[in-house]
Structure 1
Amino acid sequence: MIKSWMVIGGIALILGGVGGSIVPPSGVKWFARLRRPYWLTFEPLIPLIWTTVFICGAWSAYIVWEHDPGSRKTWLLMGLYLLLELVTLSYNSVMLTLKSLKAGTFIGGTGFVLGLILAILVLPISVWASALLLPYLLWSPVGTYTTWELMRLNPQDA
């Protein structure tokens, strides 16, 4: 029998793989040439950080699902988890396709708001499920601020 954690983890993994592969090479080159803030010394760690954030999000979804599997409320929350992942994954593909730091900043801010709403909604269900969204809520503003700072340093690419 397929376990719920396998389904939730599998969906997160598949979406991450697909979402991570939708990046135009010209957009990657555009982004690579942008001036970076002097304090952006942690850039090589960003993939590891996001991997951790996504694992925590999937674990949070698993906890919520197991609390009341298959209920209407749980399905709606799973939809919100899915929307949050899709918005988060769209950051690179949209920003690099449009070559627009404004688009990246907007998507980052939208993801934070969705993550905050989700954390508030799952808090009554499980403190742990809500706490597992904290890495997203802490890291998302860092990424959004970094993108905003890139806009300031590269106004021609805003």
Structure 2
Amino acid sequence: MFILYFLIFFSACVAAGATGGMFPPGQWYRDLRKPSWTPPNWLFPVAWTTLYVCMSWAGARAAVAGDASLALALWGLQIAINTLWTPVFFGLRRLRAGMVVLSALWVAVAATMLALWYVDTWAGVLFVPYLVWVSVAAALNWSVLQLNPETANNPPPIEI
């Protein structure tokens, strides 16, 4: 049963991750000023694949643990918010709205991590790297916002 739960959670993660293919960064993003500590492009798919496996494993552990209603509800909330960021930031090119989504995601991930920890310590531990990565993403989003006030005030048109 654990593997079935893992595959269900992983399917939710794959759906969230698919937005990266639907809304690729594109030239407008490459043209933005970014901080010197911006991770290299190759790291993003590696990090997200690893995180999605950890998130799915954590969700499956909680699903078989019992008394995990809150943790599982929060897991659903965080993956829903996770799914929003790419279309908002890369699709709509809204730097400020992306920051709002990331702020909500950080809170949802932190709450999920704590709720998972309560149900199953290892499930909570598996969410720690995700919270770290979302923290880095939020700092990067904030830095890009600060370094590109003209784009934040006047988002470029979307090519269709």
CA displacement, residues 38-75 of structure 1 (integer Å, 9 cap, x when unaligned): 2225333122112211211111001000112xxxx535
**Amino acid aligned to 1:20:** G
Counterpart-to-counterpart distance in 1, 2:142 and 2:27: 19
CA displacement, residues 95-132 of structure 1 (integer Å, 9 cap, x when unaligned): 12321211111111111100111111122211100000
In percent, how many aligned pairs have the same letter?
26
State whether residues 68 and 119 of structure 2, in contact with CA within 8 Å, keep that contact through their aligned partners in structure 1.
no
Structure 1 residues 29-40: aligned runs within 5 Å:
29-40=27-38
Counterpart-to-counterpart distance in 2, 1:12 and 1:40: 24
Please, which runs of 5 or more residues in structure 1 have no aligned partner? none
Please, which runs of 5 or more residues in structure 2 have no aligned partner? 153-160
Q: TM-score w.r.t. structure 1 length?
A: 0.84
Q: Secondary structure at the match of 1:133?
A: helix
Counterpart-to-counterpart distance in 1, 2:45 and 2:117: 27
Instruction: Tell me the residue number matched to 2:137.
Output: 143
Q: Secondary structure at the match of 1:99?
A: coil
Number of residues of Structure 1 aligned to a counterpart in Structure 2: 151
TM-align CA RMSD? 2.1
State whether residues 123 and 130 of structure 1, in contact with CA within 8 Å, keep that contact through their aligned partners in structure 2.
yes
Q: Which runs of 4+ in 1 moved over 6 A?
A: none
Instruction: Tell me the residue number matched to 1:4.
Output: 5
